[in-house]
Structure 1
């Protein structure tokens, strides 16, 4: 495993921990990953909902919560920290501005095209920007729009394939297309980054994500041109993960047959672990009476089959009767609760084993 740079940021291990919400990747998990040489990522989505003892309006609660979480993580690590900010959340601007004010090292942003993200940067700001894309078309559009409107190019690109957990940037009928395999997507987006390098002399690392679980997976995709990888599922079943024990054990207990694609209220397909809540939602038994959170721009409470914020918040707290668990395609490979340090150690060993065969 080789270290790599994102601008002047030096990352010792080419592993980025995926930003998982609500509440799955907070200061605890992010700092542990950063302490092991990767990039630890705090998920901002719904962060103000987590501590229900806090008073004040929701906007202020979200701002206070992300500020507090970044500071807690900084107290635990000298490593590289990022935040994941979905572009479809209604408080996108607040989350970006607050993260930059707190000196976050890097912002990852997907679930839509963050076409105006560079406008939040200013004189002396060192925060790096890494869009999450699922096609070369999206990567190309972001690069050209950012360059045209802000004279800025992405500092890295995360390429998220159809085997990722949570919301997927594909239509349901596109998930199994050969052209959309992670390997093919990485190859396509490398063409975009090479063009940017030739035109503007800027290196844009390509970070592969979606379905990567082992060091063997890492070696293969890095050999094909990716600079680094992003993993989410393997970090959920760790002691440092910020989710409840019940949430983590859902991964330990899940088999391959328990993983399904759902229709999310956000308007995208999502990969999750099957459960009674999702069955009831499909049967129309979980329709919300009102919108409690106003969290996602694309969610229509009049037509949605369930409130995704309520469901993910319940699951984070361990109430799987009223919630569900997002997962990547490899959840069936999780067999026990581990530690972040052990995950890194195992990934290195698996990577070295694969490398020795080649």
Structure 2
């Protein structure tokens, strides 16, 4: 089984894409080291500047500066290897963030948490590659058809996120029951998406790689996913529990300590279901004790602080810093299988150990 893959002329010696995780979980240190070791490191554009001294005064300016600073640092760490960025369509500043990422020089933009229908227009005449994040054959068909009809553009890659992923999910809550999850195993979703991709490969005369993720935790998971037809896998939670991850030690330890029963589906102020590790903060959210008094960040288009159960921006910032009394940890469904904090190098070697 092959261990390398390409996105256009971008070459990777390991078929591993590290999922972009906000707020500040996957920044330059994690992404840079993943790319250095042959995978594709991906930053998250969500409130990248939350650690900057002037963030509270001018979050937009801090975020724009952080986008440039972390890109440069990731490039330095990686030895100038490709670096990607995940930009959620649901973000208030989505269009501007895409333009900023192009201007900064990111090699590829991943866009999900909504339909990135205008992404080809926002990146037109640039060298930045574009990859929508989809959850089903149906969504793949919709985006491929729209991009070709309106822009005569096909994706440089597609990411298929199955229902076992962490963070915001592209599934309805009723599709996340144990019974439905069993019917939607990631390998079973891959052939249908490949069917939708094939006609557009013929149109543009090139391969459109499929990257599949959601719940991938072990070397066996990697092997099974690639055997089902994916070119590479996307992994998030396993990279959280590495020394190089940009989150706090307490954040990492919360994932290591989590049991299967701790991982739950929550309702996000973004209007999407999410998967997170149960804690007291989330109990208080359910009890209606975390209603925001204002909107200090304005990060999500669909979030209205007057009706939101809590401020997701502040909660994720607090969680990443280790303040789990005022925040929480997003995680994949299989994060309970993680037993230790390791290094990116050891993890990459472990994940690819069954590929020959």
Same fold by TM (over 0.5)? yes
Cα distance in structure 2, aligned partners of 1:103 and 1:60: 18
Task: Name the SS for the 1:349 alignment partner.
Answer: coil
**How many Å separate the matches in 2 of 1:228 and 1:289?**
43
CA contact (8 A) 1:22 1:46 kept: yes
Aligned pairs (5 A) from 1:306-345: 306-345=310-349
SS state at 2:49 partner: helix
Which of 210, 214, 221 is residue 217 of structure 1 equivalent to?
221
Tell me the equivalent position of 1:81. 83
| Residues in 2 aligned to 1:93 and 1:330: alpha-carbon distance in whole angstroms | 33
**How many angstroms apart in 2 are the aligned matches of 1:219 and 1:121?**
33
2-side partners of 1:57 and 1:146: how far apart? 35
Distance 1:84 1:209 in 2: 14
Q: Of 88, 93, 100, which aligns to 1:98?
A: 100
Report the 3-state secondary structure (helix = DSSP H, G, I; strand = E; otherwise coil) of the residue aligned with 1:47: coil
Asked if the contact 2:158/2:211 (under 8 Å) is kept, the reply is: yes
Of stretches 2-11 and 31-40 in structure 1, the one that deviates more from structure 2 is 2-11
CA contact (8 A) 1:4 1:13 kept: yes
The question of whether the paired residues in 2 share the 8 Å contact of 1:4 and 1:10 is answered with yes
Q: Does 1:286 align with 2:290?
A: yes
SS of 1:190's equivalent in the other structure is helix
Residue 50 of structure 1 aligns with which residue? 51
Shift of 1:12: 1.3
5 Å-filtered alignment, 1:171-186, equals 171-176=172-177, 177=180, 178-186=182-190
User: Is 1:228–2:257 an aligned residue pair?
Assistant: no
**Is 1:197 matched up with 2:201?**
yes
Instruction: State which drifts further: 57-66 or 89-98.
Output: 57-66
- Do the aligned residues in 1 keep the contact of 2:88 with 2:94 (CA within 8 Å)? yes
- Cα distance between partner residues in 2 of 1:23 and 1:300: 23
**May I ask how many residue pairs the two structures share in their alignment?**
351
Distance 1:35 1:221 in 2: 23
**What is the aligned counterpart of 1:295 among 292, 296, 299?**
299
Q: What displacement does 1:257 show?
A: 1.1
1:52 is displaced (CA, Å) by: 3.9
Deviation at 1:207, TM superposition (A): 0.6
TM-score, scaled relative to structure 1: 0.95
- Matched with 2:39 is 38
Give, in whole Å, the separation in 2 of the partners of 1:13 and 1:28. 19
CA–CA distance in 2 between the matches of 1:335 and 1:179?
28
TM-score (structure 2 length as normaliser) = 0.95
Structure 1 CA distance, aligned partners of 2:41 and 2:5? Answer: 15
CA RMSD of aligned residues (A): 1.4
Q: Aligned match of 2:263 in 259, 263, 285?
A: 259
Counterpart check, 1:112 vs 2:114 = yes
Deviation at 1:179, TM superposition (A): 4.8
- 2:144 corresponding residue in structure 1: 143
Match of 1:3 in 2: 4
CA contact (8 A) 1:160 1:209 kept: yes
Structure 2's unaligned 5+ residue stretches are none
- Work out the CA distance in 2 between the residues paired with 1:334 and 1:283: 30
Counterpart position of 1:355:
none
Contact kept, 8 Å, 2:24 with 2:50, in 1: the verdict is no
In structure 2, C-alpha distance between the alignment counterparts of 1:209 and 1:273, rounded to whole Å: 19
Separation in structure 2 between the aligned mates of residue 121 and residue 81 of structure 1, nearest angstrom: 16
Aligned residues of 1:82 and 1:107 also touching (Cα < 8 A): yes
Equivalent residue number for residue 269 of structure 1: 273
The answer as to whether partners of 2:248 and 2:322 remain within 8 angstroms in 1 is yes
Post-superposition Cα deviations, 1:96-141, rounded to whole Å, max 9, x if no partner, equal: 1111112111100100000001112243x22110100001111111
* Rounded Cα–Cα distance in structure 1 between residues aligned with 2:161 and 2:293: 34
Q: Distance in 2 between matches of 1:266 and 1:54?
A: 21
Give the Cα separation in 1 of the matches to 2:304 and 2:183. Answer: 32
Shift of residue 210, structure 1, vs aligned partner: 0.2
